[in-house]
A and B are shown apart, each in its own frame.
Chain A
Amino acid sequence: MSAVLLECHDLVKVFPGVRALDGVGLRLTAGSVHALLGENGAGKSTLIKVLTGVHSPDGGTLTWCGEPVRLRSPLEAARTGIGVVHQERNLIPGFSVAENITLQKPPARRGLVDHAAMTEPAVACLTELGVDLDPARPVRELSVAQQQLVEIAKALHTESRVLLLDEPTASLSPEETDRLFGVVRRLAGRGACVVFVSHKLEEVFALCDTVTVLRDGRSVLASAPLAGHSHDDIVSLMVGRAHTAAGMRPRTVDRSAKPVLELDGVATAGGHRDISLAVRPGEIVGLYGLVGAGRSELVKAVLGLDRVTAGEVRVHGSPARIRSPRQALHEFGIGYVTENRKEEGVFLEQPIVRNITVTVWRRLARALGFVPAGEERAVAQDLVDRLGIRITGLGQHAGELSGGNQQKVSLAKWLAADTRLLVIDEPTVGVDVRTKRAFHELIWDLAHDGLPILLISSDLAEMVTLADRIVVMTGHRVRGEVDNDRDYDRMSGRIIRLIHDRDEVRS
C-alpha cells in the first residue's frame, strides 16, 4: 500500500443557491492515476478548485501526507506540491508560450527575469507532450487545442506530487491524448498521483486505477479501485439510475438531393487551398482532422470572418458572398456553434436567458421591438429542460455554470434559432456521457428532420457515431473523404491512413 498524499473528508462548498460540494471524501495515493467522474455540474471542478486553494471550503477537513492543511491560495497549494490544469484555459494572452509555462516559477536572478532561460524548460515540457510550438509565440495566436497543450505543459513544469487534470483531453485529438497518457503514466511511475477528470470513459478505463464518482456534490463512490467496475456501473453511479443507451432511429440520406451548402475549390486568406465539399438536406457531414488542421478557420472563412480568395461557396445552389455571421444567419439560415465557448460562445457575465435567446429575439419581437419577457423565458426554459442544463435560475450568469453546462448553453442558442443549416464545431467538449448521448440523439434527430449539418469534431468516436460522410483535413487541405459505415475500427484505420499519407508525401 503506497503512501496517502492528499486526503479530504466531508468537504462542503456552497454558492448562493447551490451546494456544489456536500460532503465529499477523497483519498489520493502516490503512484496512482485517480479518476474523478460525475455528470456536468456534479462538483468535480469545484472539488479541484477547493483542493488547489482557489475556493475556500465551507466545511470539511483536508490532510496532506497525514498532516491537516489549509490551502488559502493557489500559491500555497503549489508550494505544498499540488499542480493543476483547470477546465477553462487560463493563460496570459499577451505573454509568450514559454513565459506562460514558467509563470508560476519564472527563472529569475535577483528579481530580473531571464527570458533566455525560460525557453529550455518550456521546450522540454512541450516536447514531453510531443508538441512542436515556437516558445516565443504569444499564446493569443494559438488555437484552442494548442492553448490546452500549453496549459498542460505549464502544469508539468511545476513538478508536483499531486497533479489534478480537469478535462485535459476535452479538445485534444487521439494523438495528443495518447502522448498525454504516456506522460501521466510516467509521472505515476515516478510516485506522483494524477487525478484525471474526463467524460470520455474509454480514456478513463485505459488510464486510471482508482475512481471517485460525484453526484450532486456528494461522493457516491469514494476512492475505489476502478478494476471492479464496468462501464455501465460507473455510468449508473453517475446518473443515479440504470442507464440504457437507446438506439437511434435509422436515417437515410438522399444523395441525389441538391446540396444546401457547397464549397467548390475554395481557397482562403488563412491558407486553405482547393477545398471542395457538399452538405445535403438531412445529411451529417463530418470534418475531421488533427489539432490545427484548419477546420475551424475554414468555417469561419465561409461565414465571412476571413476572406475567401478563390473558388465558390454555393448555398442552395446559388453562389453566395457571405460577409458576416449575421448575414449567414439571417439571409442564409446558417448557424455556427463555435468551438471556443469561453471567448466566442457564451456571454459569461450575462444571464442564461439572454445567452439562449439571443438568436430568437428577432422572432419574438413585437411592436417597437418589444420582447415579452415571459415568452423569452419560456423559450429559454424549454431548452434548459430539453438539454438538462443545470442552473439555479434563468437569471443566473452563464459564467457561474459548470463547464459542460456552459457548452449546453452555447448549443441551446442555436437550437433555438431554427436554422436551415447548422455548423457545429466540437459540440460535446466537456459534456458528460449521458448528455453527450442526448446531444447525439438531438443532432441525429435534427438531421432526421431534414436539417443539413456540418460537424467538426476531434472525437473520432463521435464522428463515427454521427456522420454520414467524413471529410478528412490536414494542413489546410482536404485529404480525402470516407463514407461512414459506423464501424469504429475500420473507419479509424482509413482516416488515420488518409492523414498519414500526407506526412509521407511531405517527408
Chain B
Amino acid sequence: MTTSVSPPDTVPKERTAGHRMPFWVNQRLGLLVLVIALSVLFGVVRPAFLDQRLVLFPLLRDVATLTVVALAQMAALSVGHMNLAVGRMAAFGAMFAGIGYDKLHLPMQAGLLLCLAAGAAIGAVTGWLIARTGVSSFVVTLATDFALLGLVSLMYSALTEDAAFTTRPAGVDALRSYSLADICAGPVCGSPAVPQLAQFTVLAMLGLGFLYGGTRVGRELLLTGANPAAAELSGIPTGRRVLLAHTLSGLLAALAGFMAAAGTGTFRASIGDDFMLPSFLGAVLGGTLLTGGVVSVLGTLLGTALVGVIRKGLDLLGVGLESLNIYLGCILLLALSADRIRTVVSYRKVVRST
C-alpha cells in the first residue's frame, strides 16, 4: 500500500494536537472525590467511621464482593447485553464449591476452580444461546435465572440437610477474617482495614482492566457493544464476542458467589439473592453504558464504594429503617447532581478556553 496523497496543509496544527478534554473532566475522578468527601464527612461526624477493624474492614470486604458482582454485570454490558442471572450464577458457582468441599473433600483452591468453571460454563451456555438465536439477552438471562433458581434449590434440597454446605476447607476462614495486618514483611504489617478477600477483586480488576484496556479481544468486545452491525462488517466475530462476554460474566458472578459464601460462612442457596440491583448500580454509576461499548473497571469499584460508604455512614449514624432508605436515595441523587454540575462547569470551561 504505497500511496501518495500529500498531507493537506490547511489543517492547523493546534487543531489536531493534544487531547480533547483535560483529565479533570473525568467522571471517575468525580466519583473518587465523592467517595473521599463522604468518607471524610462521616469520619468527622462519627470518628468511629475510621475504625479500621470494625468499620473499614467489613466495609471493604463488602465492597470487594459487590465490585466483583458489578464487574460481572459490566462484562455483559460491554457488549450491550444484560445479565439478569448474575445472582443465580453466583449461587450456582458457589454450589459447586460447596459440593467440592462437602462431598469431594477438595482443598480450597480446587473448589474455587470448580466454582469458577461452573460459573463460566453456565455463562457460556447463556451466551451461546443469545448469540445463536439473536433473542434479547434480557429474555434469555431471565429464563436462565428461573432455570437456575429451580435447579439450585433442588440440588440443595437433595444434597443437604439444612439447605447449605457447611464444610469449610482450610483457608476459607482465613480468607474471611484475615486482613493485610496478617501479612507482614519483617516488622512491617499491612493495614488491618484491607481484607485478604480483596485479592480476588484486585485480580479481577487487573484482568478486566488488561482485557478492555490493552487487548484486541477487549476492544472487539466494546465495538461489538457499540454497534453490532458495524462490528460484524468490520470483521469482528460478534457471535464469539457475545459468547465470551457472557462467559466472563458467569465466571465473575461465580467468583462473587464464592467470595460471598466465604465472607458469611457457608455455601447456601440464597447466595446472590440480592446481587442484581447492586450489580447494575455499581457498573452504571461507574460510567459503564447500559447501551454497550463503554466500560470502566475502576469506575465500577468507585461506584460500588460510593453506595457502600453512604450505607455504612448511615448505619453509624444509627439511622433506623424508617429513614435509612430515604436518606440513601436522597444522598445518592444529591451527590450525583453535584458531580453533574461539576461536569457541566468543567465542560463550559473547556469550551471557553477553545
- Please tell me whether chains A and B touch each other in their complex, using a CB distance cut-off of 8 A: yes
Chain A residues in the interface with B (C-beta under 8 A)? 14-19, 39, 58, 215-216, 239-241, 324-326, 328-330, 336, 338, 343-350, 354, 358-359, 361-362, 364-365, 368-371, 373, 384-388, 390-393, 395-396, 413, 415, 417-418, 434-435, 438, 441-442, 445-446, 449
Q: Bound state CA distance, A29 and B191, in angstroms?
A: 75
How distant is A354 from chain B, measured CB to nearest CB, in Å?
6
How distant is B280 from chain A, measured CB to nearest CB, in Å?
20
How distant is B23 from chain A, measured CB to nearest CB, in Å?
12
Partner of A330, one of B230, B231, B235, B350: B235
Q: Bound state CA distance, A330 and B237, in angstroms?
A: 11
In chain B, positions 180-231 with a C-beta closer than 8 Å to chain A are 210, 214-220, 222-223, 226-227, 229-231
How distant is B49 from chain A, measured CB to nearest CB, in Å?
38
Stretch at the interface among B12-20, B68-76, B307-315: B12-20
Q: A58-B351, A371-B215 are in contact. Are A39 and B10 (CB under 8 A)?
A: yes
Cβ-based interface call for B158 (8 A): no
Q: Bound state CA distance, A318 and B255, in angstroms?
A: 49
Cβ-based interface call for B336 (8 A): no
Chain B residues positioned under 8 Å from A373 (CB to CB): 214
Partner of B230, one of A344, A396, A434: A344
Q: Bound state CA distance, A135 and B150, in angstroms?
A: 50
Check A393 against B227 for contact (C-beta < 8 Å).
Answer: no
Chain B residues in the interface with A (C-beta under 8 A)? 1-12, 15-21, 210, 214-220, 222-223, 226-227, 229-237, 289, 293-294, 347, 350-352, 354
Q: Bound state CA distance, A325 and B236, in angstroms?
A: 8
Chain B residues positioned under 8 Å from A17 (CB to CB): 15, 18, 20-21, 350, 354
Residue of B nearest to A338 (CB): B233
Smallest CB-CB A-B distances: 4 pairs: A388-B8, A329-B235, A361-B216, A369-B215
| A–B Cβ pairs within 8 angstroms, 24 of them | A14-B351, A17-B15, A17-B354, A239-B10, A241-B10, A325-B233, A326-B232, A338-B233, A343-B229, A344-B227, A344-B229, A349-B289, A349-B293, A350-B222, A354-B222, A358-B234, A365-B215, A365-B216, A368-B215, A370-B214, A390-B15, A393-B16, A395-B20, A441-B3
Check A370 against B215 for contact (C-beta < 8 Å).
Answer: yes
How distant is B260 from chain A, measured CB to nearest CB, in Å?
30
Chain B residues positioned under 8 Å from A338 (CB to CB): 230, 233
Check A347 against B20 for contact (C-beta < 8 Å).
Answer: no
Q: A358-B223, A388-B5, A434-B8 are in contact. Are A344 and B233 (CB under 8 A)?
A: yes
How distant is B29 from chain A, measured CB to nearest CB, in Å?
16
Q: A18-B354, A325-B232, A413-B234 are in contact. Are A349 and B217 (CB under 8 A)?
A: no
Check B226 against A350 for contact (C-beta < 8 Å).
Answer: yes
Chain A residues positioned under 8 Å from B215 (CB to CB): 365, 368-371
Check A362 against B293 for contact (C-beta < 8 Å).
Answer: no
Residue of A nearest to B238 (CB): A326
Partner of B235, one of A239, A359, A390: A359
Q: Bound state CA distance, A354 and B231, in angstroms?
A: 11
How distant is B87 from chain A, measured CB to nearest CB, in Å?
29
Check B16 against A347 for contact (C-beta < 8 Å).
Answer: no
Chain A at the B interface: SS class? mixed
Check B354 against A19 for contact (C-beta < 8 Å).
Answer: yes
Check A216 against B16 for contact (C-beta < 8 Å).
Answer: no
Q: Bound state CA distance, A370 and B210, in angstroms?
A: 8
How distant is A299 from chain B, measured CB to nearest CB, in Å?
11
Q: Bound state CA distance, A364 and B106, in angstroms?
A: 42
Check A358 against B236 for contact (C-beta < 8 Å).
Answer: yes
Partner of B347, one of A16, A216, A346: A16
Chain A residues positioned under 8 Å from B352 (CB to CB): 14
Check A15 against B354 for contact (C-beta < 8 Å).
Answer: yes
Check B7 against A347 for contact (C-beta < 8 Å).
Answer: no
Q: A216-B12, A325-B232, A371-B216 are in contact. Are A354 and B354 (CB under 8 A)?
A: no
Check A393 against B18 for contact (C-beta < 8 Å).
Answer: yes
Q: A18-B354, A347-B230 are in contact. Are A354 and B216 (CB under 8 A)?
A: no
Chain B residues positioned under 8 Å from A39 (CB to CB): 10
Q: Bound state CA distance, A388 and B20, in angstroms?
A: 18
Residue of A nearest to B3 (CB): A445
Chain B CB within 10 Å, residue with most, of A326, A345, A415:
A326
Q: Bound state CA distance, A484 and B166, in angstroms?
A: 82
Partner of A349, one of B5, B18, B216, B294: B294
Check B219 against A358 for contact (C-beta < 8 Å).
Answer: yes
Q: A17-B15, A345-B233, A354-B223 are in contact. List 20 more A-B contacts (CB 8 A).
A: A14-B352, A16-B21, A17-B20, A216-B10, A325-B232, A348-B227, A349-B226, A358-B231, A361-B220, A364-B216, A365-B215, A369-B215, A369-B217, A369-B218, A396-B20, A417-B235, A438-B5, A441-B5, A445-B2, A449-B1
